[in-house]
Amino acid sequence: AQSVTQLGSHVSVSEGALVLLRCNYSSSVPPYLFWYVQYPNQGLQLLLKYTSAATLVKGINGFEAEFKKSETSFHLTKPSAHMSDAAEYFCAVSEGTGNQFYFGTGTSLTVIP
Q: Which helix (H) or strand (E) element contains residue 14?
A: strand 10-14
Site for another protein (CB under 8 A): which residue of 2, 51, 72, 77?
A: 51
Number of residues in contact with another protein, rule: CB under 8 A? Answer: 24
C-beta atoms surrounding 41 within 10 Å:
5
Residue closer to another protein (CB basis): 67 or 104 = 104
Report 16-45 residues binding another protein (CB under 8 A). Answer: 32, 34, 36, 41-45
Residue closer to another protein (CB basis): 73 or 94 = 94
Q: Which of 110, 113, 106 is nearest to 7 (CA)?
A: 106
Its sign, for the CA torsion 71, 57, 33, 76, is positive
**Does the footprint of another protein cover residue 1 (CB under 8 A)?**
no
Supply the minimum distance, in Å, between the C-beta of residue 96 and another protein: 5
Angle, CA 32 vertex, CA 27 and CA 35 arms, to 5°: 110
Q: Cα–Cα distance between 52 and 70 in angstroms, integer?
A: 14
Report 80-109 residues binding another protein (CB under 8 A). Answer: 90, 92, 96-101, 103-106, 108
Q: In the complex, which residues of this chain contact another protein (CB under 8 A)?
A: 32, 34, 36, 41-46, 49, 51, 90, 92, 96-101, 103-106, 108
